[in-house]
Structure 1
């Protein structure tokens, strides 16, 4: 059963599990599996319409409209950048600044054109462990980052962090294979450690401010504990 985080007569927010697609796509058209849209529709007994998307391996807050006619209003909030999105990611290394921005254009994967893309970050905490994961240093360092994307490009956070060489652990497409292999062998990591932890927006119908929070999933919290992060602060 899908975890419902908050619900009104107009919209519903869920905690999407890692590995769950938002809806059926051409790529996954032949796969015999469930999708968030289908599961939620069956669970609450009515049609729902995704307002935005999360990558398949990303967990966290996902918003649906219950009324098709309201979908343009919700989408406008995102398009006009009035929605605040916060993510948590566990990455390789420690950024040189405690907080900053990744403000680099990204190539559209379909058109090949460059698009502006900006992601703010803050270092929540960092650790150093006595393992050589690269074959170059006796220890390895990792950071838990809080990230706020201001644009919604495909895989934006994952690509920005890869450009900065702060690869997200468990990222099969944009990550570091050596790090992923180490964490699979040492900690049995099977998932991307990127979580949509908070979504804040103005309800376009009631005009009230809404903030929806999602706790990090068990697989993410387990890795943090194994590495020695103070998870009670997350």
Structure 2
């Protein structure tokens, strides 16, 4: 028999959902059968599985240790040792340690400045992701153990395209992750991006429409009507600087406010008004991208999630201490040829603020 005392990371979810995480190899029918037979009890009583767990609840599981060994397989972070070592190796970029990319951290969350080429979450390819590397980081610090992963797994709350850089939110606790997810769904967290695009844009603009995704091609298309499952999207931008690169290539540096948040939204929005992001392989100018790669070594789109603005949280919120605070992340070196000095971060600084 085993006893599980419900903590803050297990509270607030249904009993059957927790059981699926803890007894991850058990089928649903088996779990409900064990509940009916009182082989699984909640606070000493028979349970249906629909109960909403509270901190301090006591769960008892009357199984043999042999059964536990079969039903409670450990949750892997990466599938093979080789992949795990590759993940650690890719946790360093240009001599930087993983921890040097942490913009902010407390007991509830972590803000990470993601480099280009790193996934936000695992996609089944075996490549390392920010999500997995954050889990490694917490385990190495002693803040997270494998036993805890059986009932709750910390994770990223938002996503960035693989070759988009910048701020990712990682929730350490279930209450924090739930609140971050709610705020992102309600669009109360302000998300701002730095983008370098082809041509001289108007000083400011707003782009609206409907995005339709083609999962086979991993591309999205902008259309004027809500047909074919297309989702309404909105972006607005302010031009910070307009300039000329060598060979008379005109460009603009934009601060983009992502009002909605859909796959490739900013990239396809700007391409739709004839100002594609420099270096964008899907929606950009391929000939120009090849030229920029030869001249500057540019290999990914110049799109960077530079700022997150938190809303005013209720006083009883777990995240109330973050009310109306903003966090900034420095852009990668690939942006520097296009940024005037007043927009460049101080030497050695991880923060980047646009006045």
Q: TM-score, normalised by structure 2?
A: 0.58
2:229 to 92, 99, 113: 113
Partner of 1:14: 112
Partner of 2:333: 218
Distance 1:130 1:211 in 2: 35
Q: Is the 8 A contact 1:169 1:193 kept in 2?
A: yes
1:72 offset after TM fit, Å?
Answer: 2.4
C-alpha RMSD over aligned residues? 1.8
Q: Deviations over 1:178-214 (max 9, x none)?
A: 1101101111111221000001113651322221100
1:147 to 256, 259, 282: 256
Distance 1:152 1:109 in 2: 17
Q: Deviations over 1:21-66 (max 9, x none)?
A: 01111xxx234x3211111111222353111101110111100110
Distance 1:66 1:231 in 2: 36
1:126 offset after TM fit, Å?
Answer: 0.9
Secondary structure of the residue aligned to 1:165 is: coil
Distance 1:157 1:206 in 2: 28
Q: Deviations over 1:45-103 (max 9, x none)?
A: 235311110111011110011012432221110111101011001110011x2011011
Residue 260 (structure 2) pairs with residue 124 (structure 1)? no
Aligned length: 217
Partner of 1:34: 128
Distance 2:228 2:163 in 1: 24
Q: Which has the higher helix share?
A: 2
Residue 290 (structure 2) pairs with residue 181 (structure 1)? yes
Q: Is the 8 A contact 1:197 1:215 kept in 2?
A: yes
Distance 1:112 1:205 in 2: 39
2:185 to 51, 56, 79: 79
Q: Which runs of 5+ in 1 are unaligned?
A: 132-138
Q: Deviations over 1:148-182 (max 9, x none)?
A: 01001111000101111111111111111011011
Partner of 1:5: 103
Q: Is the 8 A contact 2:195 2:253 kept in 1?
A: yes
1:5 offset after TM fit, Å?
Answer: 0.6
Partner of 1:135: none
Distance 2:319 2:283 in 1: 40
Residue 211 (structure 2) pairs with residue 101 (structure 1)? no
Distance 2:154 2:177 in 1: 10
Q: Which runs of 5+ in 2 are unaligned?
A: 1-96, 145-152, 216-226, 345-355
1:130 offset after TM fit, Å?
Answer: 4.8
1:206 to 305, 308, 319: 319
Q: Is the 8 A contact 1:49 1:68 kept in 2?
A: no
Distance 2:249 2:235 in 1: 25
Q: Is the 8 A contact 1:201 1:209 kept in 2?
A: yes
Q: Which has the higher strand share?
A: 1
Partner of 1:193: 302
Residue 252 (structure 2) pairs with residue 158 (structure 1)? no
Find the structure with the greater CA-based Rg: 2
Q: TM-score, normalised by structure 1?
A: 0.86
Distance 1:6 1:51 in 2: 15
The higher-RCO structure (CA 8 Å, 6+ apart) is 1
Partner of 1:62: 168
